[in-house]
Each structure stands twice: as C-alpha cells, then as structure tokens.
Amino acid sequence: MGNEIQDPGIGTQFKRPTKRVINRDGTYNVIKKGGQRGFRDIFKYMIEISWLRFFGLLFAGYIGMNLVFTIIYYLIGCENIVGIRPDGPPAFIQTFFFSVQTFTTVGYGTLSPTGFPTQSVATIEAFIGFLSFSLATGLAYGRFSRPNSKIIFSDHVLYSKYKDGHSIKIKLANERDNVLLEVTAKLILTMDKVLPNGEIEKHYFRLPLEIDHIELLPFTWTLVHKIDEESPFWGINKKEIYAANPEFLVLLKGFDETFSQHVHTKRSFITSDIKWNQQFSKIFAPNEDGVIEFDVKDINQIKPENDE
C-alpha cells in the first residue's frame, strides 16, 4: 500500500500477538532488564513525581538522615552533647534535635558537641547537610526547568465523514498557558498480519495529514487523515480493521517559547479507542467581545454524524 513505511523502531516479526507497544500516555510498554541504574535514575524519578510527593520524600529523607546521626551520637554517648537537660525530653529526643540543628546549620548553641568523636561526627553531618542542600536545589531547579507545556489529546480516534469521503480524526490542545510554536505532527499506524505459521508481521504506515504543521497552537488542533486510495484504510471494513489489531501513534513536536526548549510528546490509540461515524464538536468561538474562548476539558465533545 502506498503509505507503508519502514519499521520506525519497533520491530516487524513477533512469535505471537503483542500488546500495545506504546502506552496511552506515550511511555513504552516494554520490560527492559539488565539496564544500569544509577544516581541519575533517582534524579529522573525525583523530577517526574508530583510536588507533594517530592516534598514528602525530601522531608522523609531529612528525618531519616537525622535519625541515623542521632543513633550515632547516642552510641558515642549523649554526655558528649553539652546542654542536654535532665529535666527535658528523653536524651534520644534531645540528641535528635541537636542533630537537626547541626544538619540544617541552625546551630543555636544551646546544644553543642564536645569531645573528638562527637565533634567529628558533627563535622561530617554538617557536610552532608551542606551537600543535601546542593542536591535539593539541583532537584528543585531540575523540576522547574522541565518544559511544562502539556498537550492533551482526545480520548478517541474518530472515523468521520470528511469532504466527499471519510477520515481518521484526533484532536489535541495545549492545556497550559505557555506558548507552543512550529508544531509538527506525525501519525503512524501499525497493523498486524498473521503469517501462516501463526507469527505476527507488523506493518507500519505513515498516515498523511491534511495539515501536519502549524505555526501557532492557541486553541485546539484536529489532525485529519483523509482516507484516499493510498490509505491503508481504503476499501477495508470494520471487521478487517479490528482483525489487524491497529495501533495509532501520534508524534508531536514543537517549540515551547516560554522556556525556549524543543518539546516532544507522543500518544497511542488502540482499537478500543476508535469511535465510528462521529464528529468532534467545535469548542472554540468568539464571545460577545469578539475574544475567542474555550474550555480545554471540552476536547472530548463528540456527536454522531447523523446529528449534523
């Protein structure tokens, strides 16, 4: 077929049917083993989690680290911490507060170390507090500086009337306020062919879009693939489509003006995401002042075609 392309990186021969290769949210649905883990994976994790979890983990680390040092000071002997009061909370608790005052470099001085072992441990703890600070700052900035444009896609792929035939439609919008420029979309389709020996041969198609590049994305953008003679959907019926286990992959890239960064997003749709003979509702319109207004949550508004 005309639009068939080479393997875009996924593979072509499989011994049995595969689940979707790209999850709905664009991550890979693959179990990769043997990869090297490192400190940077922690970084990756720490910048991808939510702010709540991020602060929570930092706080847990802070308490945990202080507990470790408290135990060390306690084992050396609390008598080496000047200022622990017999009439105060238990010595372990007071030692914990001494540790906090050292780690954060508050150092009121009402609790202070004495003797070589305790002073040495305090020297190390202050250094670790110092380092933790640097690392937390690096993490905070790492979180801040990731591009924060967030493209949302319609939940469904529509099979819709278009001009004098049919089309495949997917809708998207930028959920955030930052400005995306020079946005380019690619729509790739995977279809399985079952070989006589039961193995699966994946075929890939680049589905041409009516518009595949826009300069600006202020509102929404509907990707439209017209089903013409070149299209893999030309002349096949619903049943044949389902049999081919199709997976649609949208690859989007643009330039985030706010952070001067190139951003890429991907999104995958499978058979159960297809809606037949539906159209997306138009969700943006000028209000009374002539200013265009819309609600990004309306991106999923669709209507049956006979309603038109």
Q: Is 155 in the site for its own copies (CB under 8 A)?
A: no
The answer to whether 225 touches 187, Cβ cutoff 8 Å, is yes
Token pair for residue 18? 């595969």
Between CA 77 and CA 67 the distance in angstroms is: 15
Q: Is 234 in the site for its own copies (CB under 8 A)?
A: no
Q: Is 147 in the site for its own copies (CB under 8 A)?
A: yes
Token pair for residue 73? 């000071």
Residue 255 neighbours by CB distance under 10 Å: 17
Q: Which is nearer to its own copies, 231 or 265 (CB)?
A: 265
Binding segment (CB under 8 A) for its own copies, from list 162-170, 228-236, 251-259, 269-277: 251-259
* Least distance (Å) between residue 155 CB and its own copies: 15
Near its own copies in 269-298, by CB under 8 A: 282, 284-287, 289-298
Binding segment (CB under 8 A) for its own copies, from list 110-118, 155-163, 229-237, 300-308: 110-118
Max CA separation in the chain (angstroms): 90
> Is 97 strand, coil or helix?
helix
Distance of CA 210 to the CA centre of its chain: 28
User: What does the DSSP 8-state code read for residue 273?
Assistant: G
Near its own copies in 171-190, by CB under 8 A: 175-179, 181-183, 186, 188
Q: Is 38 in the site for its own copies (CB under 8 A)?
A: yes
Closest C-alpha among 268, 276, 208 to residue 242: 276
Near its own copies in 203-222, by CB under 8 A: 211, 214-219, 221
Q: Which residue has the tokens 């090297």?
A: 36
Among 57, 71, 91, 136, which residue interacts with its own copies (rule: CB under 8 A)? 136
Near its own copies in 47-106, by CB under 8 A: 48, 51, 55, 58-59, 62, 66, 82, 85, 88-89, 93, 97, 100-102, 104-106
